[in-house]
Chain A
Amino acid sequence: MVFSGAAFLFYFLPLALALNALAPGRWKNAALFLCSLVFYAWGEPVYVLLLLFSSVADYLCGLLAESQRGRTGAKWALGLSLFVNLSLLGAFKYAGLFVSSFNTLTGLQLPVPQLRLPIGISFYTFQTMSYTIDVYRGRVRAQRDFIAFAAFVSMFPQLVAGPIVRYSDIENSLLDRRATLRDYSDGAWRFTVGLSKKLLLANAAGQAFENIRQTAFSDLGAAAAWLGIVCFFFQIYFDFSGYSDMAVGLGRMLGFTFPENFDHPYASTSVTEFWRRWHMSLSAWFRDYVYIPLGGNRKGLKRQILNLLITWLLTGLWHGAGWNFALWGLYYFAFLALEKLWLGKRLQRAPRAVGWAYTLLVTLVGWTLFAFDSAREGGQYLLRMFAGAPLLSGGFLYRFRSLWPLLPLMALAASPLPARLWGMCAKRMGEKAAGALRLLAMAALLLLSIASVASGGYDPFLYFRF
């Protein structure tokens, strides 16, 4: 089920919230688990078994790792968990890529598996792996209550598009949680903001990008190509951060506190900073479970660069089973390594605007690798942007003028400015007036979002390859 559809908003969500409110304390996890199963089965009726399988496997591995702590049994439990989760990912996400690449390299004609990717698999396998690793390391206690554990794995607010919630983040609220009226209304506001980002901004930007990408590349002028990737740049931000806002808001309404996932990434003044503000739960996951275990920066510069390379190759591939995603990861590796070795210090001394412009340019070009189905297509698009395509052809003026009120609005909404302004206003006006203003804003945004759902317009789901 997607958050931006009528089934979720008008049927599932009210029922899930009612069930959560009615269920007494120790039944809340059962209610959440049940809701989450329905939520997942709605879009993936068969693959819900996979989710259950992963939950049972890690539930058992966690128990085993704890009872065998300090003995080889614990290592076996950890190994089994990693094996199960990575096999699931390997089989359902990467098998097609590996077999077809193998065929290309060897000239063989092995049949390429055509499995549809189970939505959210990259999120929940990463969550369960981090759980077993943390139990193995003694950072968290194993969860004995299977329903509580399954509720953690399948939790619908963040199941299909993150953030990646670690068991340690919500261990306490899993056992005892209470959403106050304040939590409920703040969560509802956060959800509304996320829903509006998705429906009102991301979809409009996405439609504009889609229109431009469908122009034959040979007709695409340089300015239109740039405009297209700027639209994608906004689409992916508002879509992804909108989903995270909705997840955080829903979590809050249910009594959880999820980690934040985006912190105005497009205001960053270096690529290193960008990745501290973009999809923060993923970067932190790779840092804690790949980069640091590999040795991080503790084994000398050469080893550190190698560790970065491995981490970013995997980060790229996490976003989709395609070599363009690997390339996209390596692209970021190159800039991160460059900043570590040389550029970082210079950027700090330069005016902030320089760092900001540089970071924007790097991210914009990066998205061309991400936005297309293959590196080849992305490369052709880059050629239109850089290699002397006629400037204004491909209907640039028409397209630009169709977007000009939207573009500055999106730029403003992506900047830290609204949050700062809101803080200042709230201080001036007093809490009561600010609360009333927020109430009005919520009513208006919800109404416009519902109107967008009712119109049944363009509403893509971007995370089907994650």
Chain B
Amino acid sequence: MRKVSLAGAAAVLFTALLVLPSFLSLLLPDRYVSERERRGLQQRPTFSAAGLLSGRYMQELETYFSDQLPLRDGLASLNAGLSFCLGQREFASFYVGDGRLLQAQRGLNQEDMEKNLSYVEALAASLDVPVTLALAPGSAEIYPEALPYGGMEDDLSPLYDSAKGRAFSLLDLRPALLAHKNEDIYFKTDHHWTSLGAAYAWAAYAEQNGIDALPLGEYEERPLSDTFYGTGWAAVGLPGLPADTLFSYDGGQPLKLTQNGDEKERDGLLFEEHLNSADPYAVYLNGNQPLITIQGGAANGRRLLIVKDSFANCLAQFAATDVERVDLIDLRAFRGDVASYAREMGATELLVLYNIKNFCEDKNLYLLKKGS
């Protein structure tokens, strides 16, 4: 009798664990996005004969079933926890390091680098204003000691070195950032630098280019959110990671911003509606917009054009304070001609600012050649 009851219990347990997920997902409404993973979830696919014959319908249904599993976020954390216990320290190209998540930057390719450098050179050659290339290091370069098991990062100095002695000037940001590595200059859960890190980077640019910069101490620092979980957090999915804080820095001057050549001008550079969204870092400059124009706070006649990735978004608050006008172009979406744009806006200087990994891997920099 006892044997039977144990066998019965096992049978019930097995069946229940398989039936429960499907049963619950029939009762619960479908979710559109996973806040946890920062991505849209598969919705119930629409049936079609063509989809059935090609098998696409079944593939979508398979994704739909797993995306809409009840308690999915908790289960995925459990899975990440198990992998961590079994030794895994890298999840979707983020290291789980000592006190921080660090983006892996290995496998960068000298040839890709060379190509993109040549596009910047072509642009510099066609303009008669100074062009600076600044490469933002990843946090793994600033905090190598935090890498788990020593990490597997390549020595990136050949890449930096290859950018020297060109038709543009190179700004190596590493010394400026390394000097302040004891401060919170990189997020612990995101691949970007913090506003503070960007401030030191801007100070280095200002110094190299003779800009009279407002000292950091003069800015008013304001916390925007102390529950910022960044891209690394979304990739790793381990429970119990600490949150980051997003800060804004106000230099006291009125800054006016327009997006993508709109008529509408707005006060300030912050878009606080993003703070509770899936991408809180978009609080700076509304995320990656093709073109941003900022009327700056200093009447010094300097007009700066920044060609950039998202690392420049939190740097703009410092740049705009110290020059008359800053325009920011994101080549992933901007489809104009950069050289003509620079002439049109009367740019007095040009800054190409990318994270080193992004710069190497970017496939849009060829657009710099257009018109030059």
Contact = CB atoms under 8 A, between A and B. Distances in A.
Contacts, number: 148
Nearest to B61: A7
A454 B76 CA distance: 6
A17 B79 contact: no
Contact of A10 (B18, B53, B88): B18
A45 interface: yes
A455 B86 CA distance: 16
Nearest to A17: B15
B53 A435 contact: no
B7 A184 contact: yes
Given A184-B11, A454-B75, A402 B90 contact: yes
A344 to B, nearest CB: 38
A227 to B, nearest CB: 13
- The secondary-structure label for the interface of chain A is helix
B333 interface: no
Contact of B66 (A401, A447, A456): A456
A404 interface: yes
Interface string A1-37: 1000111011101100100000000000000000000
Interface residues of A, number: 56
Q: Which of B10, B72, B148 has the most CB of A within 10 A?
A: B10
Contacts of A447: 17, 78
A379 interface: no
A402 B18 contact: no
Contacts of A395: 152
Nearest to B78: A451
A418 interface: no
A395 B106 CA distance: 11
A398 B66 contact: no
B294 interface: no
B66 A204 contact: no
B87 A6 contact: no
A181 B22 CA distance: 24
Contacts of B299: none
Contacts of A403: 87
Given A11-B65, A14-B19, A45 B53 contact: yes
B287 interface: no
A446 B12 CA distance: 13
Contacts of A46: 53
B13 interface: yes
Interface of B: 2-4, 6-11, 13-15, 17-19, 21-22, 52-55, 58, 61-63, 65-67, 69, 71-72, 75-76, 78-80, 82-83, 85-90, 148-152, 237
23 contacts: A7-B62, A10-B65, A10-B69, A11-B65, A13-B18, A43-B58, A181-B11, A185-B11, A188-B10, A188-B15, A204-B83, A399-B152, A401-B87, A402-B88, A402-B148, A402-B149, A405-B86, A432-B3, A439-B13, A442-B14, A446-B13, A448-B79, A451-B76
Interface of A: 1, 5-7, 9-11, 13-14, 17, 42-46, 181-182, 184-186, 188-189, 191-192, 200, 204, 395, 397-399, 401-406, 409, 431-432, 435-436, 438-439, 442-443, 446-448, 450-457
The 8 closest A-B pairs by CB, nearest first: A454-B75, A185-B10, A435-B6, A395-B152, A188-B14, A6-B65, A6-B66, A455-B79
Given A181-B4, A456-B63, 9 more contacts: A10-B69, A14-B22, A200-B82, A398-B152, A409-B86, A435-B7, A443-B13, A446-B14, A450-B17
